[in-house]
Amino acid sequence: MEGAFTALITPFENGKIDYKAFESLVEMQIREGIDGVIPLGTTGESPTLSFEEHEEFIRQTVKIVNGRVKVIAGAGANSTEEAIWLTKEAEDAGVDAVLSVNPYYNKPTQRGLIAHFEAIANATKLPIVLYNIPGRCGVNFLPESVDELLKRVGNIAAMKEACGDIVQIMRIIELCGDKITILSGDDNILLPLLAAGGKGIISVLANILPGDVKRVVTLYKDNKTEESKKLFYKLLPLCRAMFLETNPIPLKAAMEMMGLCRGELRLPLVPLSDENRALLRKSLTDYGIKLK
């Protein structure tokens, strides 16, 4: 579970999933050397897909990838029963692992979070990647609670950390770094996370620059820290631009500008504002990306 992984978008055309565009995107990811792809995470607008669409999208991803890189399927929910069902469906589809986010909206206690993930882990043989993103879920899975979970189950392989607090991330690495892989869930803090002992990233920006995101990680791993740092700081303005509005709004706008897919979103997400669209376009052109 080490390296650079892409949190894939779900491309739409006229309200339907655009599988033709999606296959092209996956092929670009593999061609650029990404270590794995994550369909139907936050970036994939998973809350807006039906169960039928969710199941079919995972199966199509596995088919397109065909074993060339890892497929880590988004399978989280705020109902434990639903998360178990999604996990089993993903397992049946042939994925390599699942990404399981904190239950959102219902705000469980730390004991509730442990019980939720323990139930999912006991229901599958798949490796599980925890996903801690308090800003979206309203609850923070604390390091001591993660440590307790790891004492109860054996198939937690990694954790995507998007809490935004490097001190908390260091505490998780201190407690659990010899048991699971810690991956950055935020492009903006990839370099400090690598310096703290993290082993890679699940990236939004890699949808458009998979090779460059991968190189930051590889250069750091190869002890070429100055080269890694230089490339990271070159990417940093684009990292910020991807969050001018709620992800994946700016990302899909960027991909449309690059001719990779339509920028279509599903409500309640709406297109990028004209003001932020101009800022995004400048960030892309400043980086040297050719736009349509």
Render pLDDT for 112-171 as a digit per residue (tens, 0 to 9).
999 999 999 999 999 999 999 999 999 999 999 999 999 999 999 999 999 999 999 999
d(CA 134, CA 13): 31
Place of tokens 């509730």: 112
- Cβ contact 139:113 at 8 Å: yes
Q: What is the pLDDT of residue 10?
A: 98
Q: Give CA 180 to chain center in angstroms.
A: 17
Task: Determine the Cα–Cα distance for residues 128 and 117; give it in Å rounded to an integer.
Answer: 9
Region 260-271: what's the mean pLDDT? Answer: 98
Say what the pLDDT of residue 54 is.
96
Other C-beta atoms within 10 Å of 26: how many? Answer: 23
Q: What are phi and psi of 191, to 5 degrees?
A: -60, -50
Convert the pLDDT of each residue in 175-225 to its tens digit: 999 999 999 999 999 999 999 999 999 999 999 999 999 999 999 999 999
Q: Among this protein's residues, is 105 annotated catalytic?
A: no
Active site residue 160: yes
Q: What is the pTM (predicted TM-score) of this model?
A: 0.96
3 in Cβ contact with 35 (< 8 Å): yes
Cβ within 8 Å of residue 226, ≥6 positions away: none
CA 9 from centre of chain: 10
Nearest to 238 by CA among 193, 190, 285, 180: 285
Tens digit of pLDDT for each residue in 60-113?
A: 999 999 999 999 999 999 999 999 999 999 999 999 999 999 999 999 999 999
Token duo for residue 107: 């705000």
On the question of a cis peptide bond just before residue 268, with omega within 30 degrees of 0, the verdict is yes
Question: Which residue among 70, 131, 220, 252 is the active-site one?
Answer: 131
Quick check: 99 and 38 in contact, CB under 8 A?
A: yes
pLDDT of residue 292: 85
Which one is catalytic: 160, 199, 214, 252? 160
Q: Cβ atoms within 10 A of the Cβ of 254, count?
A: 27
User: 241, 235 in Cβ contact below 8 A?
Assistant: no
